[in-house]
Amino acid sequence: MILQTDRLILREFTSEDVQAVHNYASDIEVCRYTDWGPNTLDDTRAFIEDVIASQSEHPRNQFTVAIVVKESNSLIGASSIIKKEVLQGEVGYVLNRDYWGHGFASEAAKAMLNFGFKELKLHRICATCRPQNKGSFRVMEKLGMRKEGHFREHLFFKEKWHDSFLYSILSSEY
């Protein structure tokens, strides 16, 4: 699977991507609002192994891709779309902190929405984030996703309960 935008290539991960992924997955600031990380090098290797294994599953329900800047060929993050329920999916994204604020997350997530609606024929795609993660919910809003709810203390990770915002977009709205 390879998707392209004006500035990005979204491609399958390979075993050679471990260090580039670890550069952001071990960053405490990048992981501040995630339910994973900061990663050890072994955590990052395990993530890459799991993602590579998922590439050959049939039927395939998880599409996690590397975000690569065309101009520099630099791997700067990951984006995913996971088929959840019948004709429904969830989109996600994470970027190396050095690339925040340049529209890369929005550009990658838009490509994943397009893939989800056009190729996977999904009816609805959702995304979640912590309420404190303004950058993430701004990406969702920029993509035309609508806020559906605020789940209170529904996830337990990093030794405490966390809230989440839920956003979604329907194929008819895309």
* 3-state SS, residue 75: strand
Residue 129 has pLDDT above 90, yes or no: yes
* Residue 73 CB neighbours (<10 A): 8
CATH number, domain 2-173: 3.40.630.30
Evaluated on CA atoms 135, 157, 92, 122, the torsion sign reads negative
| Residue-level pLDDT at 85 | 86
Residue 22 has pLDDT above 90, yes or no: yes
Q: What angle do CA 30, 32, 34 make, to 5 degrees?
A: 90
pLDDT digits (tens, 9 = 90+) for 133-164: 999 999 999 999 999 999 999 999 999 999 99
| Residue-level pLDDT at 28 | 97
Q: What angle do CA 97, 98, 100 make, to 5 degrees?
A: 65
Share of the chain above pLDDT 90, in %: 98
**Rounded-to-5 percentages of helix, strand, coil across the chain:** 30, 35, 30
pLDDT digits (tens, 9 = 90+) for 68-118: 999 999 999 999 999 998 999 999 999 999 999 999 999 999 999 999 999
| Residue-level pLDDT at 89 | 98
Q: Quick one: average pLDDT of 51-63?
A: 95
